[in-house]
Amino acid sequence: MRDIHSLLHDVFGFSSFRGVQEDVVARTMDGHDTLAVMPTGAGKSLCYQLPAIALDGTAIVISPLIALMQDQVRSARANGIRAASLTSMTEDWRAVQDAFRQGELDLLYVAPERATTDGFGRLLEEGRIALFAIDEAHCVSEWGHDFRPDYRLLRPLLDHFGAPRLALTATADKRTRIDICDQLGIEREGMIVAGFDRPNIRYHVVPRQGLPSQLKRLVAAHEGPGIVYCPSRAQTERVAEQLRESGRPSAAYHAGLDKNVREGNQEHFVESEEMVIAATVAFGMGIDKPDVRFIAHAGVPKSIEAYYQETGRAGRDGDPAEAWLFWGAEDFARARRRIETEVEPERRNAERERLNALAAFVEAATCRRAILLRHFGEDPPETCGNCDNCLAPPETIDVSVVAQKILSAAFRTEMRFGIAYLAQVLGGDDNEKVRMNGHHAISVFGIMDADELKLVRPVARALIARDALRADDFGGLSFGPAAKAILKGEEQMVIARPPARASRRRSRDRADYPHDPKFEALREWRRQLAKEEGVPPYVIFHDSTLRAVAAMQPDSLSALSTIDGIGEKKLERFGPSLLKAVEELAC
């Protein structure tokens, strides 16, 4: 058995473990059962791949998505790991089975519905099992967000063979974690929870103001691949078209597209180094693309959990990445209406709380990361230095009086009018409509000065987000449960001062990584190679590896092997050609 540190270096090309990886690997090597809770991008696959190589026999990897398995098999093979899967897409079934029986496989991926068949059980009897890895283990729990009944049937298999079990999940919910342990027969002491922070992701939350140009600016500032999450199918297509018009390769993804088109778009995205996909939240599960440079939300996500999971798809390779959330008061208004009309009464309170947490997040003037991490039960520092509010702390203003005036105006006009009209009344606009309604004669007419009037929209937005004002279907604004305390002055209202004008966003990618012709030349080399090999570029090397190569300009294979992300197999396969490319850089 080779030492795990040298395997880490030789096979994966990594100089050290990240976070809890070492603990998880050590427990598994020692034969213990483990539940590893690690956020997306923390490096879960290495936790079972490394013991799979080090231990005798094959690791049986239970994974719910065939697309994901194929990607994993491909990436593992690129590192020289003997990996295969048994799925409906597998062509050489017999060869894979034989390889397993002969002990010639490190990893065998199967879906839970296959793993629990008698036939598969019989196959397992004929070979040697190093461990069971249960990926996306939250699927075993009804509390999780993606319950899969087939996961429940795994337990007898695990108990029968008795090999160490390693369950892996990125889910943040405590109840789900405990349930996973119970369902899979893992002692609770075997739970290892990694920190949830994703320090390389920079969070930005801004009000939506002319979304198409906001998105175009964002996309222009970021060269790499990105995902724009849209609330509706129609919007994904609109956004993709707008981005294409601005000269960026872009496509839509939603469940209503023809299957071939949808899969084609996804495949393009996975292989691309610049494409932006505009998608509904259906997109992302089962996509392991490590080099997504930004995630944008065109509207508020369903919950903080959903937001964290969706933004977590950015920057899995550890390079800087950004998350942008564009929100509007209508998003909250719509979500609140949905809760009151479509959600079963006994679940409404929980849903309201979820939405309130989200409202507090978007409105916050303090560190975004700290809010997110506290939400997941961590105790983070007050500031992170890598979110919009830390980088440019917004000035806060007490808008309690403005809020009271808006609420009074809504009340005095029988809650039949929208914010534009209320602003006219509050500003003393003596126009025909106001006169016809007799609102020139009510007490709130003309009680706001010009400075206050500028705040009407942002304050109304905040009132709607907190459920103090509710937009009805007829354009009126009526009181929500939070109105009373604000109106009576029992609750203060403080918001971040809105920027004078939509400020131009500068490109951080370019600021952090000034254009480097050497890196670009190496990317071109990688692009050619990827085409020849028929794999996405990141399967060859990650950007961070190429950047290190460009900086160091190694002139020998041994120098090359010191760079993170270059293991023995890749060194052997791509090393000589890469050295040649480096040599050409000097010319």
Query: What is the DSSP code (8-state) at residue 117?
Result: S
- CB of residue 294 to ligand ADP, shortest distance in Å: 17
Asked if 525 contacts 577 with a C-beta cutoff of 8 angstroms, the reply is yes
| Lookup: tokens for 236 | 């994904």
Tokens of 524: 């071109």
In whole angstroms, the minimum distance from the beta carbon of 221 to Zn ion comes to: 20
Cβ at position 387, least distance to Zn ion in Å: 3
**CA separation for the pair 502, 473 (Å, rounded):** 29
Q: Which residues pair with 384 in a beta bridge?
A: none
CB-nearer residue toward ligand ADP: 8 or 84: 8
Distances (CA, A) of 568 to 11, 12, 128, 226, 574: 6, 8, 26, 31, 10
Q: Does residue 394 contact residue 497 with C-beta atoms inside 8 Å?
A: yes
CB 158 within 8 A of CB 165: yes
Give min distance, CB of 40 to ligand ADP, in A.
4
How many other β-carbons are positioned within 10 Å of the β-carbon of residue 99? 17
Contact between 299 and ligand ADP (CB under 6 A)?
A: no
- Among 64, 144, 284, 290, which residue interacts with ligand ADP (rule: CB under 6 A)? 290
CA dihedral 235, 238, 242, 245 (to 10 degrees): 160
**How many helical (H) and strand (E) elements, i.e. helices and strands, does the chain have?**
30, 17
Shortest Cβ 366–Zn ion spacing (Å): 8
> Rounded distance, CA 426 to CA 447, Å?
6
10 binds ligand ADP (CB under 6 A): no
Choice between 86 and 384, CB closer to Zn ion:
384
Residue nearest to ligand ADP (CB): 43
Residues that bind Zn ion (CB under 5 A): 367, 369, 384, 387, 390
Q: CB of 171: closest distance to ligand ADP in angstroms? A: 12
The smaller minimum CB distance to ligand ADP, of residues 50 and 84, is found at 50
387 binds, among Zn ion, ligand ADP, none (CB under 5 to 8 A by kind): Zn ion
Tokens of 232: 């509706």
Site string for ligand ADP, 488-517 (x = CB under 6 A): ------------------------------
Structure-token pair, residue 58: 């094959």
Residue 44 interacting entry, from ligand ADP, Zn ion, none, C-beta within 5 to 8 Å by type: ligand ADP
Spell out the residues 6+ positions from residue 319 whose beta carbon is closer than 8 angstroms to its own.
200, 291, 293, 542, 543, 544
User: CB 205 → Zn ion: shortest distance, Å?
Assistant: 11
Q: Which of 208, 289, 293, 316 binds ligand ADP (CB under 6 A)?
A: 316
| Residue 384 interacts with which of ligand ADP, Zn ion, none, CB < 5 to 8 Å by class | Zn ion
- The answer to whether 112 touches 153, Cβ cutoff 8 Å, is yes
495 DSSP β-pair partners:
397
Question: What is the footprint of ligand ADP within residues 561-580 (CB under 6 A)?
Answer: 564
Tell me which stretch binds ligand ADP (CB under 6 A): 33-41, 99-107, 252-260, 342-350.
33-41
Q: Which residues contact 350 (CB under 8 A, 6 or more apart)?
A: none
- Choose from ligand ADP, Zn ion, none: what does 367 bind? Cβ within 5-8 Å by kind: Zn ion
Residue that the structure tokens 């602003």 belong to: 423
Which CB, 41 or 328, lies closer to ligand ADP?
A: 41
Q: How far is the CB of 560 from Zn ion (least distance, A)?
A: 37
Name the binder of 369 from Zn ion, ligand ADP, none, CB < 5-8 A by kind.
Zn ion
- Angle of the 400-412 helix axis to the 419-426 helix axis, nearest 10: 100
Which range, of 16-24, 362-370, 413-421, 520-528, touches ligand ADP by CB under 6 A?
Answer: 16-24
Identify whether the C-beta of residue 340 lies closer than 8 Å to the C-beta of residue 348. Answer: yes
Q: Which of residues 37-56 bind ligand ADP (CB under 6 A)?
A: 38, 40-46
Our CB check for ligand ADP shows the closer of 303 and 309 to be: 309
CA-wise closest residue to 222 among 314, 327, 298? 314
Q: Does 18 bind ligand ADP (CB under 6 A)?
A: yes
**Which residues bind to ligand ADP, rule: CB under 6 A?**
14, 17-18, 21, 38, 40-46, 288, 290, 316-317, 542, 564
